[in-house]
Amino acid sequence: MIKNKVKEKLKKGHYSVGTWITIGHAEVCEILSSFAFDWIIFDTEHSPLSIETIQCLMQAMSRSAALPIVRVGWNDQVMIKRALDIGAHGVLIPWVNSGKDAANAVRACKYPPQGIRGCGPRRASKYGLCLNEYIELINEEILVGIQIETEEALNNLDAILSVEGVDVAYVGPMDLSMSLGYPNQLTHPGFKSALQKVVESCKKHDVYAGIHAASAEDFKERVSQGFQFITLLSDCDFLIHGCTEALNKAMGRCVTKGDGCESR
């Protein structure tokens, strides 16, 4: 039955690393989940993945040690419920800007009396074969992640992170930098100050700080800053980086279109 190894790792003070899945093909998920990621996160906010596709992708990674997590499209109890019912071990919920938003997110993830999640866990309970055990354990085992993406959320950090049941506060770097007026300027002093504020507030409230890392160097910096729940690149990034490196080594030039690249 479900045992959330990611939550256990975070509680021990270790960092945990995952990556994003945005491509709806089982082989992509199967390959990436064969590596040393603690979790795989399926993005339904910015990718075209549907709930049916994600269930098939979860089945493709069922033999791996990585846990499936879903970023739902919105702080919506139906979206959250469906993600959990197909077997997600956690959810990442975007655009949480207030204590009320955070409380609604937690309640959507928990069965009564802690929450309002409707009971029909289907694949998550092995199609009912482990229903009682699932219901008994799942409120404690689900990882509830909320996203800090706006200046409003920064101003309400104490109210957001004091909500019981919030496990991870995950910075959306692009959205937060844009909201603060530094679009994609991730080295801007104002943005760095915001990151420090998130990390410090997470420590104060016993919540784990999360963020995306765009490179190995970025990952190491985030760990040094105090982040523990970190996504490293994505399926698309690995394709692009792998192709770019191979072509540069083979041909001495980049043959894709883009900034700094020569077009065919």
Give the active site residues. Answer: 46
* Residue spans of alpha helices (H) in the chain: 5-11, 26-32, 51-60, 77-85, 99-109, 131-141, 151-155, 157-161, 173-179, 189-205, 216-225, 235-251
DSSP class of 172: -
Q: Give the tokens for residue 133.
A: 């055990």
Which residue type, as a one-letter code, is found at position 186? L
- Could you give the angle at the alpha carbon of 18 between the alpha carbons of 49 and 10, nearest 5°? 130
Please report, to the nearest 10 degrees, the dihedral formed by the alpha carbons of residues 98, 101, 107, 108 taken in order. Answer: -150
